[in-house]
Amino acid sequence: MLRVIRNIVLAYALWLVIQDVSDYMESESVETLFAYIVEQAEA
């Protein structure tokens, strides 16, 4: 389970790097997406 969470976090971090981090870090949609991913990982 920890491996799955780590992979999700790494994938999300990589996605942020690919995007313009300064723009997307302040985006509510990204925060909502991250919260959704965390909820799915904990399920």
Is the residue at 9 inside a domain?
A: no
**pLDDT at site 9:** 92
Task: Provide the domain limits for residue 37.
Answer: 18-43
Q: Is residue 13 part of a domain?
A: no
**22 pLDDT more than 70:** no
User: Which pLDDT value is given to residue 21?
Assistant: 58
The pTM score is 0.40
How sure is the predictor about 43, in pLDDT bands with cuts at 50, 70 and 90? Answer: confident
Give the end-to-end CA distance of the chain in Å, rounded to a whole number.
10
Domain count along the chain: 1
